[in-house]
């Protein structure tokens, strides 16, 4: 299974060499809901949790079979919504719910990895050019609209987003009907094979 991590384009070269490292003491981009500084957050879709820079998205693909499963955790939103634990408390208690990381990934499309992800676990990186308004409207915004329907609907519509992400990374040749884009036109996408 593959998971993804969004980042800024200027970090891709270093990531290909050094892997992904938790943010540590660096400021988080999610100031209202700060992430845990010791985790690398992963997702099954590349549309939202990314390093969006003007007209581009940069995403790293990780082979989850190469990760140490004992370091995988559900994310705090999952604990907050499923177990009704307040977010601040949920951030501190993720390890207690280690066995639920797969359920979190399946239901919410996210999970956390405690520690660094080695470059040998990274299969490819991708830069998605959103400068074409047609592609932006028909792939990116349509996908986001499906994602922002809420966590309960994401559980049923999440496959559309996962299929769209698999298309981006070349794991499938077709796009779901809900994404109105010619699947043979891959011009907005630049893939770089790592391992």
Q: Which residues contact 142 (CB under 8 A, 6 or more apart)?
A: 178, 179, 180
Report pLDDT for 155.
62
Q: What is the pTM of this model?
A: 0.84
d(CA 183, CA 152): 28
Give the chain's domains with CATH numbers. Answer: 2-131+189-193 (3.20.170.30)
From residue 135, alpha-carbon distances to 68, 128, 150, 172 in Å are 37, 10, 24, 18
Largest pairwise CA distance in the chain: 46
Which pLDDT value is given to residue 31?
65
pLDDT at site 10: 82
Give tens-digit pLDDT for 94-111: 999 999 999 999 888 889
The model's pLDDT over 52-98, given as tens digits with 9 standing for 90+, comes to 556 677 889 999 999 999 999 999 989 999 999 998 899 999 999 99
Residues whose CB falls within 8 Å of the CB of residue 191, separated by 6 or more in sequence, listed in order: 124, 125, 126, 169, 170
């Amino acid at each position: 299974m593959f998971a993804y991590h969004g980042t800024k384009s200027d970090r891709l070269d270093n990531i290909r060499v050094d892997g992904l490292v938790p943010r540590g003491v660096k400021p988080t981009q999610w100031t209202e809901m700060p992430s845990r500084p010791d985790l690398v957050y992963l997702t099954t879709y590349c549309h939202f949790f990314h390093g969006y820079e003007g007209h581009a998205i940069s995403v790293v693909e990780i082979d989850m079979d190469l990760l140490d499963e004992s370091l995988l955790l559900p994310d705090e939103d999952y604990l907050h919504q499923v177990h009704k634990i307040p977010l601040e408390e949920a951030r501190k208690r993720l390890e207690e719910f280690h066995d639920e990381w797969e359920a979190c990934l399946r239901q919410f499309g996210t999970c956390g990895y405690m520690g660094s992800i080695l470059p040998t676990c990274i299969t490819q990186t991708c830069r998605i050019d959103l400068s074409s308004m047609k592609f932006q409207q028909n792939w990116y915004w349509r996908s986001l609209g499906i994602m922002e329907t809420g966590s309960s609907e994401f559980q049923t519509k999440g496959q559309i987003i996962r299929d769209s992400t698999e298309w981006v990374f070349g794991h499938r040749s077709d796009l779901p009907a809900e994404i109105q884009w010619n699947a043979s036109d891959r011009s907005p996408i630049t893939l770089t094979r790592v391992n």
